[in-house]
Amino acid sequence: MPAIMNKKIHTNDLGIIDYQKAWDYQEQLLQENVRIKQALAKGDVPAGQAKETTHYLLFCGHPHIYTLGKSGHMENLLLDDHQLQDKGISFANTNRGGDITYHGPGQVVGYPILDLEHFFTDIGKYLRFLEEVIIRTLADYGIKGDRSPGETGVWLDPQDPARARKICAMGVRCSRWVTMHGFALNVNTDLNYFGNIVPCGISDKKVASMHEELGREVAEAEVKAKISQHFAEVFEAEMIMD
């Protein structure tokens, strides 16, 4: 762990952005942090000139796309290339964990780029913290989010097989303890798009959205503000709006 802990997280809303463009930007920020850490480890930085790694929480949304994690299975995509084209949906193989998921309008996507050496070096704990952020956010709307044993993400009624449904998917990558990728919370998402995949490779459970649970449109900007607030609480961090 660094001698001086830096827990300042810069938040930035990228708006609706192409998935690959957001991925490239995440990679850029991650690699900048990795280069800083490598230089510090090698002692290549003159005394008094050491640069700190920078933490980010990027919010965005994506045009319709299915993304497959590095351990995912293509058979969980139920459309062929022609059907994807006809429906105006893109597809991407990714380097995150997890299986297949959907991104699209009405979804709040969060990409934390954190140097975990300033927090804790435990990926399992990191995922539980991300889940806790979303669980607290949902609670602000009277929705009881929960965890499903052995399954990453945030669920509703996971203890009841007949009603269990996933409201927030998660998948991350970590390099030299710097994270990227993150979570996708279904706020006003059209859940019909999940019918073209086996979401997260789990065939016996459904998906949910805040809109469906509450029976009304939910302000996505408000959801992002609440996520930032709970991120600060859970990670004991200072959020800086860029």
Taking a C-beta distance cutoff of 8 angstroms, is the pair 153, 200 a contact?
yes
Taking a C-beta distance cutoff of 8 angstroms, is the pair 82, 141 a contact?
no
Annotation says 174 is catalytic: no
Calculate Rg over the CA atoms of the chain: 18
Bridge partners of residue 173, in order along the sequence: 180
Cα dist. 42→30, 35, 46, 178, 220 in Å? Answer: 18, 11, 11, 18, 44
Catalytic residue among 60, 168, 174, 200: 200
CA distance 51 to 161: 50
Active site residues: 200
